[in-house]
């Protein structure tokens, strides 16, 4: 199914196309037609399933088709999305901004913990869509800044988390202020009795029910492995791994567009042809890069998650997570690109110290520990994985001054007195085996935090080398400037 089959208006189709979306996700396929029909909806879906677009897109269409936009200063709040956290509120605002960029609808996001003036200014100027967390909303309602009497569509997002966070009383105070003749969309990742009761009290009888099963299992045909590596060594590790000619067609994931471009540049310097696809590239460029990759002319394709959604390439031998995704479901999506139709695939994940918590979340979701490959030249014992079962996050050997020794590195603070944890880069331990082919083999050890001493005898060659930088760390979602205007 394509978005064209969902009866969406041109400005929205165009925006989705610009986002690089080609196929609606299952929750979008199921929900969008019913929301467009004006039905109430009970959606059981987690973050990562595309649920935000499943409600944002049809709401934009509903509001745009009946828009009274001649006089913006008299616009009324016609849709409200209530969500538990500031981060979610911002992300939802970004979605409205992205999918509604060709529509003359305005939105704003309000949440606590920041000054209220930019938010009240935006409300005064007028918005059709309000995205809010419960506490700040009540605050501003009590001060008379928010009028909910004209709400046509109300969305309660992440209802289970709302209850966990103790927002139930706030919600009960907000609900009576909404018109009863509204359309309501209720989303929750889980549906225990208390949530079902809340849903019954908010939705009209017999709402449409849609549920998508969370992605939590990884195909057995995919061999997974983790490379614990300092962030600055990721470019070299990638180069090293790509020396293995057994890696025929590899998709490298970065979190950001900028990170993707950087990886391509690094590989170009090492004479490894690679192309990047992401939202900043023209449609032509993306298509060309993809057909080069499919035809086998380019061995390495570097992509951000959003751009990669539309990629359907058979015979992908490897997926490399150059950066650990911060949403565990994204990991499952990413590695599911290889090992298709029973074919063997390998998924390699580069994890630096800051990313260990993300790795732990992934291991919890897939309910298994991903084996760690330690026999590569950039292995760092300082980047030990957090054990799946919790426990001490990291135990560093004490240095002479009673603090953890750090590898001395150019461009980084370090303690040059102490030995390095990494295996020798060249010589010493013999030729480093190709990482691609060792992935998941018996050299790997469980990510238990044990075995940290495996590299204790390792020596680092004297001297350092210029630190090269890894991919960027900024959020890929920063389309939206939260300046209170929502634009």
Give me the residues that bind ligand AMP (CB under 6 A), please.
21, 23-25, 28, 47-53, 306, 309
Q: For residue 266, what are the contacts with CB-CB under 8 A and spacing of at least 6? A: 235, 238, 239, 468
Of residues 310 and 451, the one with the C-beta less far from ligand AMP: 310
Of residues 265 and 478, the one with the C-beta less far from ligand AMP: 478
Looking at residue 372, the DSSP 8-state letter turns out to be B
The packing angle between helices 10-19 and 51-65, to 10°, is 150
Which two three-digit tokens encode residue 58? 């049809």
Which two three-digit tokens encode residue 253? 């994931």
Of residues 54 and 276, the one with the C-beta less far from ligand AMP: 54
Of residues 46 and 225, the one with the C-beta less far from ligand AMP: 46
**Nearest-approach distance from CB 366 to ligand AMP, in angstroms:** 18
Task: Tell which residue, 257, 250, 249, has the closest CA to residue 20.
Answer: 257
Dihedral of alpha carbons 292, 296, 299, 302, sign = positive
**Nearest-approach distance from CB 445 to ligand AMP, in angstroms:** 33
Of residues 51 and 409, the one with the C-beta less far from ligand AMP: 51
The packing angle between helices 86-99 and 51-65, to 10°, is 50
CB of 97 closer than 8 Å to CB of 480: yes
Q: For residue 105, what are the contacts with CB-CB under 8 A and spacing of at least 6? A: 60, 63, 64, 67, 69, 96, 128, 129
Separation between Cα atoms, residue 380 and residue 370, nearest integer Å: 17
Of residues 20 and 407, the one with the C-beta less far from ligand AMP: 20
Task: Tell which residue, 316, 372, 370, has the closest CA to residue 346.
Answer: 316
**Nearest-approach distance from CB 481 to ligand AMP, in angstroms:** 17
Distance of CA 93 to the CA centre of its chain: 16
In 10 A of CB 216, how many CB atoms? 13
**Nearest-approach distance from CB 318 to ligand AMP, in angstroms:** 22
Of residues 170 and 327, the one with the C-beta less far from ligand AMP: 327
Question: What is 409-467 written as a DSSP string?
Answer: BTTB---TTSPPSSPPSSSSS-SPPPHHHHTTSTT-B-SSSTTGGGGTT----SS--PP
**Nearest-approach distance from CB 147 to ligand AMP, in angstroms:** 28
Separation between Cα atoms, residue 200 and residue 119, nearest integer Å: 32
For 155-186, give one letter per residue: b (16+ CB within 10 A) or e.
bbbbbbbbbeeebeebbeebbeebeeebbbbb
**Nearest-approach distance from CB 254 to ligand AMP, in angstroms:** 14
Of residues 48 and 84, the one with the C-beta less far from ligand AMP: 48
CB of 477 closer than 8 Å to CB of 94: yes
Pairing of strands 208-211, 222-228: unpaired
The residue nearest ligand AMP at its CB is 52
**Nearest-approach distance from CB 91 to ligand AMP, in angstroms:** 7
**Nearest-approach distance from CB 109 to ligand AMP, in angstroms:** 15
**Nearest-approach distance from CB 267 to ligand AMP, in angstroms:** 25
**Nearest-approach distance from CB 60 to ligand AMP, in angstroms:** 14
Of residues 407 and 476, the one with the C-beta less far from ligand AMP: 476
Of residues 229 and 335, the one with the C-beta less far from ligand AMP: 335
**Nearest-approach distance from CB 25 to ligand AMP, in angstroms:** 5
Of residues 328 and 436, the one with the C-beta less far from ligand AMP: 328
């Amino acid at each position: 199914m394509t978005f064209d089959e969902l009866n969406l208006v041109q400005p929205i189709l165009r925006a989705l196309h610009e986002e690089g979306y080609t196929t609606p996700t299952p929750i979008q396929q199921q929900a969008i037609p019913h929301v467009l029909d004006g039905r109430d909806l009970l959606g059981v879906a987690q973050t990562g399933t595309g649920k935000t677009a499943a409600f944002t897109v049809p709401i934009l269409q509903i509001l745009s088709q009946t828009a009274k936009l001649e006089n913006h200063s008299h616009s009324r709040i016609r849709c409200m999305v209530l969500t538990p956290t500031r981060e979610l509120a911002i992300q939802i605002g970004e979605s409205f901004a992205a999918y509604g960029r060709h529509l003359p609808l305005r939105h704003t996001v309000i949440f606590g913990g920041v000054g209220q003036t930019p938010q009240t200014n935006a409300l005064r100027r007028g918005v059709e869509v309000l995205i809010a967390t419960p506490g700040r909303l009540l605050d501003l309602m009590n001060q008379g800044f928010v009028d909910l009497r004209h709400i046509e569509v109300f969305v309660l997002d992440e209802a289970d988390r709302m209850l966990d966070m103790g927002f139930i009383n706030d919600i009960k105070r907000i609900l009576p202020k909404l018109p009863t003749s509204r359309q309501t969309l209720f989303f929750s990742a889980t549906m225990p009795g208390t949530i079902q009761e809340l849903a019954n009290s908010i939705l009209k009888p017999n709402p449409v029910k849609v549920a998508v099963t969370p992605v939590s299992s990884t195909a057995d045909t995919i061999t997974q492995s983790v490379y614990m590596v300092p962030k600055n060594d990721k470019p070299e590790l990638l180069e090293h791994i790509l020396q293995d000619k057994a890696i025929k067609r590899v998709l490298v994931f970065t979190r950001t567009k900028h990170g993707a471009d950087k990886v391509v540049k690094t590989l170009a310097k090492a004479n490894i042809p690679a192309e990047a696809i992401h939202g900043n590239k023209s449609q032509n460029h993306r298509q060309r890069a993809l057909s080069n990759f499919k035809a086998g002319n380019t061995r390495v394709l570097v992509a951000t998650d959003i751009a990669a959604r539309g990629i359907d390439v058979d015979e992908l031998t490897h997926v490399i997570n150059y950066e650990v995704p911060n949403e565990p479901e994204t990991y499952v999506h990413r590695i599911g690109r290889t090992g298709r139709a029973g074919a063997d695939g390998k998924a390699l994940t580069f994890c630096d110290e800051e990313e260990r918590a993300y790795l732990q979340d992934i291991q919890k979701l897939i309910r298994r520990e991903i084996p760690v490959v330690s026999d590569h030249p950039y292995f760092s014992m300082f980047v030990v994985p957090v054990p799946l079962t919790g426990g001490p996050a990291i135990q560093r050997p004490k240095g002479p001054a009673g603090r953890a020794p750090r590898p001395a590195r150019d461009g980084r603070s370090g303690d040059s007195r102490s030995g390095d944890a990494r295996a020798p880069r060249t010589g010493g331990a013999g030729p480093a085996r190709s990482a691609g082919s060792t992935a998941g083999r018996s050299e790997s050890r469980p990510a238990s935090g044990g075995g940290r001493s495996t590299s204790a005898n390792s020596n680092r060659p004297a001297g350092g080398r210029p630190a090269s930088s890894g991919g960027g760390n900024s959020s890929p979602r920063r389309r939206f400037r939260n300046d209170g205007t929502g634009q």
